[in-house]
């Protein structure tokens, strides 16, 4: 049964999880939290510095703790980091505690949306496009495994994607009530 107590957004970097999440939270009168921003708030440093000091493994440990804690809250829209689904426990927390929307986007769109962003440690490579493709190859099946709803964001405005999600949630909710 669909519940709007918690909605968790998953998907790759550049899919629009934070931006769309804020709009959904406003429309549904829920709180919005971005797990990466929460990690930065709790540590007092930005994600790139965590990666530099602790590596991806250290960051993922912090991420798992934050996702466990945040998914236990109610009335929340949570935008997760693109790699959050790599951890089996995170997938379990997300699946068991809310409605999951996979914001799907193409690698081409990711490249456009992240090309000027210098705060993405996983893109500090000679070939960001290939890195994004490699990440998508690994993560896409995991996003799909836990998704209750898959929404394409390619070439669409935040407003359009948000309205599409609201319509689909409303339609699914109506079908559950029938």
Spatial strand order in the sheet of 31-34: 31-34, 76-79, 6-10, 99-104, 149-152
Q: Please tell me the least confidently modeled range out of 2-6, 74-78, 82-86.
A: 2-6
Question: 66 pLDDT exceeds 60?
Answer: yes
pTM of the model: 0.89
Q: How confident is the model at residue 175 (pLDDT cuts 50, 70, 90)?
A: very low
- Give the Cα separation of 176 and 178 in Å (integer): 6
| Integer CA distances (angstroms), 140 to 21, 66, 105, 120, 166, in order | 20, 22, 10, 19, 23
Who has greater pLDDT, 122 or 49?
A: 49
Q: Taking a C-beta distance cutoff of 8 angstroms, is the pair 73, 94 a contact?
A: no
Give the containing element (helix H, strand E) for 38: helix 35-43
For the residues 9-24, what does the mean pLDDT come to?
94
Question: 75 pLDDT exceeds 80?
Answer: yes
Confidence (pLDDT) at 111? 80
Question: 172 pLDDT exceeds 90?
Answer: no
Give the containing element (helix H, strand E) for 77: strand 76-79
Who has greater pLDDT, 85 or 114?
A: 85
Q: How confident is the model at residue 1 (pLDDT cuts 50, 70, 90)?
A: very low
- Residue whose entry in the numeric block shows the structure tokens 């426990």: 89
Confidence (pLDDT) at 173? 53
């Amino acid at each position: 049964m669909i519940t709007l107590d918690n909605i968790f957004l998953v998907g790759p970097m550049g899919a629009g999880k934070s931006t769309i999440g804020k709009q959904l939270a406003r429309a549904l009168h829920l709180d919005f939290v971005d797990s990466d921003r929460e990690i930065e708030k709790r540590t007092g440093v930005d994600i790139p510095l965590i990666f530099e000091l602790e590596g991806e493994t250290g960051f993922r440990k912090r991420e798992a703790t934050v996702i466990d804690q945040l998914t236990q809250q109610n009335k929340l829209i949570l935008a997760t980091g693109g790699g959050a689904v790599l951890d089996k426990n995170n997938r379990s927390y997300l699946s068991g505690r809310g409605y999951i929307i996979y914001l799907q986007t193409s690698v081409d769109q990711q490249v456009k949306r992240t090309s000027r962003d210098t705060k993405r440690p996983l893109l500090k490579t000679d070939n960001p496009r290939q890195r994004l493709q490699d990440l998508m190859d690994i993560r896409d099946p995991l996003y799909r495994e836990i998704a209750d709803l898959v929404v394409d964001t390619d070439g669409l405005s935040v407003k359009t994607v948000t309205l599409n999600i609201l319509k689909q949630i409303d339609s699914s909710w109506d079908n559950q009530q029938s």
